[in-house]
């Protein structure tokens, strides 16, 4: 592994603030990892997931279904809410983040290359943050593109004048930016959990499927348990409420002023746990 991680001379570390040095090392690790996330052989699945909804909406733009919701411009906001929450958020972003963030360390173990990082003069907590940020760059870039393209593909084929009024004078642009914000928060929250899973489990697929099942049945959970799921806070932020299942146990959405800080605080706690875990991690390639 070629590395450009910065090493400070002894006299520099004696006078410079350690946080400044750690920040430079974090950014160096992030730069090294971003290219790998976009260009390595595992990235093909990420691209497939990201552009699957785009292809689907492109086909539906050419061959719109006869359902009333697709024919009425005023109902398209509900249509997109169902597509976003059911396909993009619960499936594409979830599994895309699982694939990227679980492989940040697990992939290095499989490739037998993690020891190069462990032998370099960089704190392991710095390595966790740098790799996490690189995963955010990849997932946020691709999945915000997915969100924007699918939104536009739903509205633009309906007529330029009506769509322009909706986007520029109505709620369209606000809704789009809100969906983009939810996408970013989903990558932040899911990314931290899946990075930790990749560090803690030799086979991370089973824990990931357990989380996926928990997120999918969240509508059946009582209000207190709903707050344990990431999807509850993300659904609370979407601009158009998701139509509830007749079997759903209703709960009040968590307001944005509480949802966003809660996700950020939990993400920080999970990353701190990942930093604690990696400090005690030993590489055993023979068992993988």
Tens of pLDDT, residue by residue over 53-82, are 999 999 988 887 777 767 777 788 888 999
Distance of CA 53 to the CA centre of its chain: 16
**Spatial distance between the Cα atoms of 44 and 198, rounded to a whole number of angstroms:** 19
Place of tokens 């299942």: 245
Determine the pLDDT at residue 285.
Answer: 59
Greater confidence (8 vs 144) lies with 144
Residue 205 has pLDDT above 70, yes or no: yes
Residue 182 has pLDDT above 50, yes or no: yes
Q: What are the backbone angles phi and psi of residue 171, rounded to the nearest 5°?
A: -95, 0
Determine the pLDDT at residue 162.
Answer: 78
What integer is the mean pLDDT of 206-235? 82
Determine the pLDDT at residue 49.
Answer: 92
Q: How far is CA 267 from CA 140, 175, 191, 195, in A?
A: 16, 25, 9, 11
Give the CA angle between residues 223, 225, 229 to the nearest 5°. 110
Residue 288 has pLDDT above 80, yes or no: no
Q: Which of these, 279, 274, 257, lies nearest to 104 by C-alpha position?
A: 274
Highest mean pLDDT among 46-55, 101-110, 198-207: 46-55
Q: What integer best gives the mean pLDDT of the chain?
A: 83
Give percent of the chain above pLDDT 90: 36
Domain ranges of the chain: 10-287
Band (248; pLDDT cuts 50, 70, 90): low
Determine the pLDDT at residue 286.
Answer: 56
Instruction: Decide: pTM greater than 0.95.
Output: no
What integer is the mean pLDDT of 152-181? 85
């Amino acid at each position: 592994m070629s590395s450009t991680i910065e090493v400070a001379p002894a006299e520099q570390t004696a006078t410079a603030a350690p946080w400044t040095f750690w920040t430079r090392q974090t950014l160096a690790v992030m730069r090294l990892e971003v290219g790998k996330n976009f260009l390595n052989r595992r990235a093909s699945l990420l691209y497939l997931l990201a552009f699957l909804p785009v292809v689907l909406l492109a086909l539906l733009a050419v061959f719109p279904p006869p359902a009333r919701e697709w024919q009425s411009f005023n109902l398209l906001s509900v249509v997109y809410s169902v597509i976003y929450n059911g396909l993009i958020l619960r499936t594409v972003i979830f599994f895309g983040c699982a694939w990227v963030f679980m492989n940040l360390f697990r992939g290095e173990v499989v490739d037998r290359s993690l020891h190069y990082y462990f032998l370099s003069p960089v704190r392991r907590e710095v390595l966790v943050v740098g790799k996490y940020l690189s995963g955010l760059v990849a997932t946020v870039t691709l999945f915000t593109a997915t969100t924007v393209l699918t939104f536009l593909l739903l509205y633009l084929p309906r007529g330029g004048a009506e769509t322009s009024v909706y986007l520029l004078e109505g709620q369209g642009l606000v809704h789009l930016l809100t969906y983009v914000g939810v996408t970013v928060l989903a990558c932040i929250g899911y990314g931290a959990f899946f990075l930790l899973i990749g560090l803690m489990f030799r086979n991370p697929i089973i824990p990931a499927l357990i989380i996926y099942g928990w997120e999918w049945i969240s509508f059946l959970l009582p209000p207190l348990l709903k707050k344990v799921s990431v999807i509850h806070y993300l659904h609370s932020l979407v601009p158009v409420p998701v139509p509830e299942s007749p079997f759903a146990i209703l709960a009040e959405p968590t307001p944005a002023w509480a949802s966003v800080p809660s996700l950020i605080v939990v993400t920080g706690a999970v990353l701190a746990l990942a930093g604690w875990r990696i400090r005690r991690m030993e590489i055993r390639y023979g068992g993988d």
